[in-house]
């Protein structure tokens, strides 16, 4: 059978006879590279120097280790839920079944906001990265945004790449997954170069000071972790397109998180060993300059920048896949207009949802370099909100539906799984509190404004949602029926 289960209702607004099933074409490797590649975007290239300067070499590594543990616990929760509900949209289905329509829209809207912020981030990061290799990219200035110049080539490169990636994804998830696999292999090659260079040309003395900035410095790195790790949940988003056992899908979620944590920690340790934290603070692109210093070669610096381009493509591609599947699921559940819940008649991909995310990505380069930090800071709290709701849904379903079929049951049938879920709730809630104004993270006003505008738009859809639709196995059917009745 190729596609979703036969009892799945057609997308709202679908015409009679319209095929609404996605194609099951992804195997273990494709699913793993999808989740891992989503988490390894551009941040490790451009932000590593800032992280080391804020917390020191050991402090930055520790922050990612702590954040990795939090994300791994959330990944364990996802692992059980995706094995039980292997449907497109991931957390949308989990929260809908556990908490009902309104909370499902909140959770889905939160993660969509995070996905779109990442996709827009990469549309700006790509021309910025290429500018290090091709100086002409920083030419033909058009205007400034928050003191940052906006250049015509930035708009052409970022917008053009958004169009191409969107077109590839509309053509099918198989070509998109092939792109993902090749880019991830290139990223792993860059990591090998960093490790070998650190072993040969790195110095232990450069790692000092191990800790700087105290607790505030540690938190400044920790608050970036959700944005850097968002992407493992792309695997559950595409659960209807993987052709592997449900329990194996869940295991791949956790494995992707562990591999990403090791990648980030290795990058920071090797970069810090290259020339010292103080020297790195004065570089324009710390990770590239570090590889060049480790190998005493400017060519190696350019090779790492090419790795940054590969990271941009893996992350961008993955979030086009994940975000479009989530918007498709929301359209299919009548939370968003039925236009989002339709598939391309030939390629069986959520083409309308892909066009929506691709269009926003095209617009991002018009705001220039200043948009990068704003997107990271505005998208991160929304991501954590979604993770918190998934952890809560895990606990609710463990209590209310203990006999629900769970091909992968974490912690067994006893209290172990409940404890894991409770710990995930506490840790994600604690992480969310770091974004409250006045906390040590000290976010500027623009991210809070973007965060507020996104949720103001979400409130419009929340108010349109039919009331009284609680959770349970048939929550989706009742939500669609209520929406059609109201219409």
Q: What is the mean pLDDT of residues 456-464?
A: 89
Nearest to 396 by CA among 95, 110, 92: 95
For residue 425 the two structure tokens come to 């709730």
pLDDT at 133: 85
For residue 474 the two structure tokens come to 């048939």
Burial readout 225-241 (b: 16 or more C-beta within 10 A, e: otherwise): bbbbbbbbbbbbbbbbb
Cβ proximity of 365 and 159 under 8 Å: yes
Cβ proximity of 353 and 327 under 8 Å: yes
Query: For the ranges 70-84, 131-145, 229-243, which has the lowest average pLDDT?
Result: 229-243
Tell me the pLDDT tens digit for each residue of 110-136. Answer: 988 888 888 888 888 889 888 888 889
Cβ proximity of 113 and 360 under 8 Å: no
Distance in angstroms (rounded) separating the CA atoms of residues 133 and 128: 10
Distance in angstroms (rounded) separating the CA atoms of residues 87 and 318: 17
Q: What is the mean pLDDT of residues 87-97?
A: 86
Distance in angstroms (rounded) separating the CA atoms of residues 354 and 365: 18
Cβ proximity of 69 and 448 under 8 Å: no
pLDDT level of residue 153 (50, 70, 90 thresholds) = very high
Q: What is the mean pLDDT of residues 197-224?
A: 85
pLDDT level of residue 6 (50, 70, 90 thresholds) = very low
Q: Of all helices (H) and strands (E), which one includes residue 476? A: helix 475-486
Q: Quickly count: other Cβ atoms within 10 Å of residue 3's Cβ.
A: 17
- Average confidence score pLDDT of the chain: 83
Distance in angstroms (rounded) separating the CA atoms of residues 239 and 91: 11
pLDDT at 163: 96
Counted residue by residue, the chain has a size of 487
Q: What is the mean pLDDT of residues 143-165?
A: 91
Alpha helices in 85-172, H assignment, sequence order: 91-99, 101-133, 152-171
Strands 148-151, 141-145: parallel, antiparallel or unpaired by DSSP?
antiparallel
Percentage of the chain beyond pLDDT 90 is: 21
Tell me the pLDDT tens digit for each residue of 309-348. Answer: 888 888 888 889 888 988 998 898 888 888 998 988 888 8
In whole angstroms, what separates CA 120 from the centre of its chain? 12
What are the structural domain ranges in the chain? 29-448
Distance in angstroms (rounded) separating the CA atoms of residues 52 and 268: 7
pTM beyond 0.85, yes or no: no
Residues sharing a CB contact under 8 Å with residue 481, sequence separation 6 or more, in sequence order: none
Residue 293 above 80 pLDDT?
yes
86/486: higher pLDDT: 86
Distance in angstroms (rounded) separating the CA atoms of residues 210 and 349: 48
Distance in angstroms (rounded) separating the CA atoms of residues 419 and 411: 8
For residue 108 the two structure tokens come to 């889905």
Distance in angstroms (rounded) separating the CA atoms of residues 336 and 332: 8
Query: For the ranges 21-25, 99-103, 125-129, 208-212, which has the lowest average pLDDT?
Result: 21-25
Tell me the pLDDT tens digit for each residue of 342-395. Answer: 988 888 899 999 999 999 999 989 988 777 667 767 777 888 898 899 999 999
Tell me the pLDDT tens digit for each residue of 11-42. Answer: 444 433 344 567 777 778 888 888 898 888 77
Distance in angstroms (rounded) separating the CA atoms of residues 362 and 380: 21
Q: Quickly count: other Cβ atoms within 10 Å of residue 204's Cβ.
A: 7
DSSP 26: B
Determine the topology of domain 29-448 in CATH: Amino acid/polyamine transporter I (1.20.1740)
Distance in angstroms (rounded) separating the CA atoms of residues 29 and 106: 32
pLDDT at 484: 67
Task: Look up tokens 């970036």; give the residue.
Answer: 224
For residue 177 the two structure tokens come to 């997954």
Query: For the ranges 65-79, 149-163, 237-251, 382-396, which has the lowest average pLDDT?
Result: 237-251
Point out which residues pair with 242 in neighbouring strands.
Answer: 26
Distances in whole angstroms, Cα of residue 46 to Cα of each of 96, 189, 215, 417: 38, 18, 23, 38
- In which region does residue 351 sit, left (phi positive, over 0), alpha (psi from -120 to 50) or beta (all else)? alpha
pLDDT at 160: 95
Cβ proximity of 53 and 280 under 8 Å: yes
pLDDT at 179: 86
Distances in whole angstroms, Cα of residue 454 to Cα of each of 100, 104, 294: 22, 16, 43
Tell me the pLDDT tens digit for each residue of 409-438. Answer: 887 776 777 888 898 899 888 878 877 776
Distance in angstroms (rounded) separating the CA atoms of residues 82 and 208: 43
Distance in angstroms (rounded) separating the CA atoms of residues 357 and 323: 8
pLDDT at 197: 92
- In which region does residue 54 sit, left (phi positive, over 0), alpha (psi from -120 to 50) or beta (all else)? alpha
pLDDT at 456: 92
Task: Look up tokens 């949308």; give the residue.
Answer: 92
pLDDT level of residue 485 (50, 70, 90 thresholds) = low
pLDDT at 188: 92
Query: For the ranges 3-17, 168-182, 462-476, which has the lowest average pLDDT?
Result: 3-17
Residue 193: Cβ-neighbour burial (10 angstroms; 0-12, 13-18, 19+): middle
Q: What is the mean pLDDT of residues 399-403?
A: 88
């Amino acid at each position: 059978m190729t596609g979703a289960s036969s009892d799945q209702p057609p997308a709202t607004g679908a015409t009679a006879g319209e095929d609404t099933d996605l194609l099951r074409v992804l195997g273990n490797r494709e699913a793993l590279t999808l989740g891992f590649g989503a988490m390894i975007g551009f941040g490790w290239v451009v932000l590593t120097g800032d992280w080391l300067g804020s917390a020191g070499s050991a402090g930055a590594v520790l922050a990612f280790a702590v954040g990795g543990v939090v994300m791994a616990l959330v990944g364990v929760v996802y692992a059980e839920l995706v094995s039980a509900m292997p449907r497109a949209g991931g957390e949308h289905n989990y929260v809908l079944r556990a908490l009902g329509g309104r909370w499902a829209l909140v959770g889905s809207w939160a993660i969509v906001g995070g996905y779109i912020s990442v996709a827009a981030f990469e549309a700006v990061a790509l021309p910025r990265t290429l500018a290090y290799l091709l100086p002409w990219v920083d030419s033909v200035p058009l205007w400034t945004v928050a003191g940052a110049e906006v250049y015509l080539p930035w708009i052409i490169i970022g917008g053009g790449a958004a169009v191409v990636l969107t077109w590839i994804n509309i053509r099918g998830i198989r070509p998109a997954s092939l792109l993902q696999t090749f880019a991830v292999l290139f990223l792993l090659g860059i990591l090998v170069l960093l490790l070998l260079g650190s072993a040969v040309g790195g110095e232990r003395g450069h790692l000092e000071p191990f800790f700087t900035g105290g607790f505030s410095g540690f938190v400044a790195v920790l608050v970036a972790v959700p944005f850097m790790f968002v992407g493992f949940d792309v695997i559950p988003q595409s659960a209807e397109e993987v052709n592997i056992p449900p329990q194996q899908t869940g295991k791949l979620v956790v494995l992707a998180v562990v591999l990403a944590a090791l990648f980030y920690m290795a990058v920071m340790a090797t970069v810090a060993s290259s020339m010292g934290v103080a020297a790195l603070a004065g570089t324009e692109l710390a990770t590239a300059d570090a590889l060049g210093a480790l190998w005493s070669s400017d060519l190696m610096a350019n090779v790492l920048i090419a790795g940054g381009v590969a990271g941009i493509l893996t992350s961008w591609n993955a979030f086009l896949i994940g975000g479009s599947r989530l918007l498709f699921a929301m359209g299919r559940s009548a939370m968003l207009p039925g236009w989002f819940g339709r598939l391309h008649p030939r390629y069986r991909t959520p083409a309308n949802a892909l066009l929506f995310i691709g269009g926003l990505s095209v617009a991002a380069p018009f705001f220039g370099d200043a948009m990068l930090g704003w997107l990271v800071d505005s998208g991160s709290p929304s991501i954590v909100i979604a993770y918190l709701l998934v952890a809560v849904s895990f606990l609710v379903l463990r209590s209310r539906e203990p006999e629900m079929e769970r091909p992968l049951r974490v912690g067994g049938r006893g209290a172990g799984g409940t404890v894991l879920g409770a710990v995930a709730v506490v840790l994600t809630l604690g992480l969310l509190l770091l974004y409250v104004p006045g906390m040590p993270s000290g976010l500027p006003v623009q991210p809070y404004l973007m965060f507020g505008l996104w949720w103001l738009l979400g409130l419009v859809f929340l108010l349109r949602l039919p009331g009284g639709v609680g959770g349970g196995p048939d929550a989706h059917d009742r939500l669609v029926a209520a929406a059609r009745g109201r219409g």
